[in-house]
Amino acid sequence: MPAGHIWPHHRYPTSLPMADPVLSLRDLDVRFNSDGHQLRVVNGVGFDLMAGQTLGLVGESGCGKSVTSLAIMRLLASPPAEIAGGEVIFENRDLLKLSKREMRELRGGRMGMIFQEPMTSLNPVYTCGSQIIESLRRHSGLTGKAARERAIELLETVRLPSPEKRVDDYPHQLSGGQRQRVMIALALANDPTVLIADEPTTALDVTIQAQILDLLRDLQERTGTAVLLITHDLGVVAETCQAVVVMYAGTVVERGDVSSIFADPQHPYTVGLMAAVPRMDAIQGRLTAIPGSVPPPWERVVGCRFAPRCPLADDRCRNERPALREIAPGHEIACWKAPIEGVSATGGQS
């Protein structure tokens, strides 16, 4: 079964007309210094996020997705982290060249972020409402009764039950799903142009996950905010994103429109990810796994980083690193073997 037929009747989100990007990454390099060794965790990552678009950044755990998002927001601790190169362009400015004060003005204002675990992101000694009010005071100038009313309105917008009561609750008094809604309200408090959602449904049960994703989609449609959605869940990408960037071991291996990549994945890693998605029609209920493991960041790989796990790899793959190239309008891939047709995750013909 071709990987592109995992969701045979799926209707992908409509692609948006071309426009100027609101956020552009160019050759982003992030390194960590550890015990005298320099670890390249993000290596030459680049993509464009368009106005009103949801772009999915996907890949296995440890591929550099979250580090990329923290680098965009300038939230990596330095040391040990070091942004060694590249550009992050937002509103015609390179965020990597801004002062700490200028970045503080952007964060929580025109750029918002939803973190993986709200219990560690929300301050446990302040009420949920006071944390939203502080953001409103800092970025929108609202104070007193007006700020409190706006905080309640935001909690109501994210469908938190009894917002008039919850505004005075502490994070520990809320469930995981309720805390995530508070985080979303906090991220959206000042009408950001760009919202980064880093695994926003991690550790939530399936029902709550669906509610949070529906909420994000509804809020985006109403506000026009561009969303960078970081996830390892391809089903989430298929349901919510117009574009997708696939990362492997700190590099971008495939990027383009969701419809084209899901219908015709071209990188063997993307093919493998899609083949690993559980399906109702899977033979004997067995899942397909990608053999091997992700190379650690301290391991020097000369050619394609996926070559040790790739069923199609040859000497060129192992000795020359492929650059991203366009194989169809809006569809780019870093692979010497593309285009490939009818190849399963394990290398057999489907």
Residue 273, domain member (yes or no): no
Checking if the pLDDT of 113 tops 60, the result is yes
Reported as a pLDDT band with limits 50, 70 and 90, residue 88 is: very high
Pairwise CA distance, residues 173 & 130, whole Å:
15
Q: How confident is the model at residue 279 (pLDDT cuts 50, 70, 90)?
A: low
Overall number of domains in the chain: 1
Distance, in Å, from the CA atom of 55 to the CA atom of 243, rounded to the nearest integer, reads: 5
The verdict on residue 144 lying in a domain is: yes
In a domain, 160, yes or no: yes
pLDDT at position 13 is 59
The reported pLDDT for the residue numbered 283 is: 53
pLDDT digit string (tens) for 144-199? 999 999 999 999 999 999 999 999 999 999 998 899 999 999 999 999 999 999 98
Pick from 182-191, 203-212, 276-285, 309-318: least confident? 276-285
Cross-strand bridge partners of residue 89: 24, 94
pLDDT of the residue at 14: 55
Residue 129 domain flag: yes
Can you give the pTM of this predicted structure?
0.88
307-to-40, 160, 186, 240, 295 alpha-carbon distances in Å: 18, 47, 42, 31, 10
pLDDT value for 12: 52
Question: Looking at residues 83-100, what average pLDDT do you find?
Answer: 95
Task: With a cut of 90, say whether residue 117 has pLDDT above it.
Answer: no
Task: State the average pLDDT over residues 263-286.
Answer: 79
Over residues 106-117, the mean pLDDT reads 90
pLDDT for 345 equals 41
Share of the chain above pLDDT 90, in %: 63
pLDDT at 280: 61
Report the first-to-last Cα separation within the chain, whole angstroms.
5
How is the beta sheet containing 21-34 ordered, strand by strand?
A: 37-50, 21-34, 81-90, 93-94
Question: Is 159 a domain residue?
Answer: yes
Give domain status of residue 91, yes or no: no
Q: Does residue 162 sit within a domain?
A: yes
pLDDT above 50 (res 1): no
**So what's the pLDDT on residue 221?**
86
**In terms of residue numbers, what domain contains 153?**
122-191
Bigger pLDDT: 148 vs 349: 148
CA–CA gap between residue 13 and residue 50 (Å, rounded): 14
Question: Using H for helix, E for strand and C for coil, what is the string for the chain?
Answer: CCHHHCCCCCCCCCCCCCCCEEEEEEEEEEEEEECCEEEEEEEEEEEEEECCCEEEEECCCCCCHHHHHHHHCCCCCCCCEEEEEEEEEECCEEHHHCCHHHHHHHECCCEEEECCCHHHHCCCCCCHHHHHHHHHHHHHCCCHHHHHHHHHHHHHHCCCCCHHHHCCCCHHHCCHHHHHHHHHHHHHCCCCCEEEEECCCCCCCHHHHHHHHHHHHHHHHHHCCEEEEEECCHHHHHHHCCEEEEEECCEEEEEEEHHHHHHCCCCHHHHHHHHCCCCCCCHHHCCCCCCCCCCCCCCCCCCCCCHHHCCCCCHHHHHCCCCCEEEECCEEECCCCCCCCCECCCCCEC
pLDDT of 9 higher than 60: no
* pLDDT at position 99 over 70: yes
Domain assignment present for residue 295? The answer is no
Cα–Cα distance, 181 to 178 (Å, whole number): 5
Average pLDDT for 313-337: 94
> Would you state the pLDDT for residue 66?
93
pLDDT tens across 249-261, in order?
Answer: 999 999 999 999 9
